[in-house]
Amino acid sequence: MLKEKIKIEEVVFVKKAFNKSLWKSIIVMPFILTFLFLPFYFLLFFIGLFIFHGHLDNLLSLYIYSILGVVIVNFLYGKIIINKRITNKKIYKITEDFSIQRKNSYTHTSEYESDSHYFRLYLINKDDQKKGIYISEVDYKKVKEYEVITITYFETVNIIIKAVCNNQELKYARFFTIRNWNFW
């Protein structure tokens, strides 16, 4: 793994890309959080229903304000703290080798009959750190499992500059989050 500070020329690119994703998140994140925390809302609603005998007039308003508060705090954290780190060149450009653990593709069909095809690679580095990337269909057909991909990216904001496999640069690469939801 090669770790180096970002250059002044790269600061503008990183800030522009990060701020674009930050503005997208302020639009999408409220909807995701609303549905993600809906079971907690219902749990509080039914517990409150039995304890307060149905006098929970403002619980829904409190729920929506809480979600909007989380979204605003996240936006301000990104806008103030992360942008300051980028401006002060306190993030690193990392070049790292990953092994392709698994390939996966899927198609999502929307209600308007349009299809979206996604091609994913599940990667692992020598420190057992797991990452996932989306790639193009052309590149998906070229790569094979257990091959090595060299990815150059900015660490805190997870913006990929380039990804190389078999001495060929991949046309499109973007990280996605890998999470294991283990409750027990």
pLDDT given at position 183 = 42
Domain with 112 in it: 92-176
36 pLDDT more than 80: yes
Domain stop point among 87, 117, 138: 87
Spatial CB neighbours of 2, under 8 Å, sequence gap ≥ 6: 94, 95, 96
In a domain, 16, yes or no: yes
Structure tokens at 42: 């219902």
Q: Are 156 and 85 in contact (CB under 8 A)?
A: yes
What average pLDDT does range 105-123 have in this prediction? 81
Mark whether 109 and 125 lie in a shared domain: yes
In a domain, 181, yes or no: no
What average pLDDT does range 108-135 have in this prediction? 85
67 pLDDT more than 90: yes
Domains held by the chain: number: 2
CATH number of the domain at 116, please. 2.40.50.660
Mark whether 15 and 75 lie in a shared domain: yes
Mark whether 101 and 156 lie in a shared domain: yes
182 pLDDT more than 60: no
Mark whether 80 and 153 lie in a shared domain: no
pTM over 0.85: no
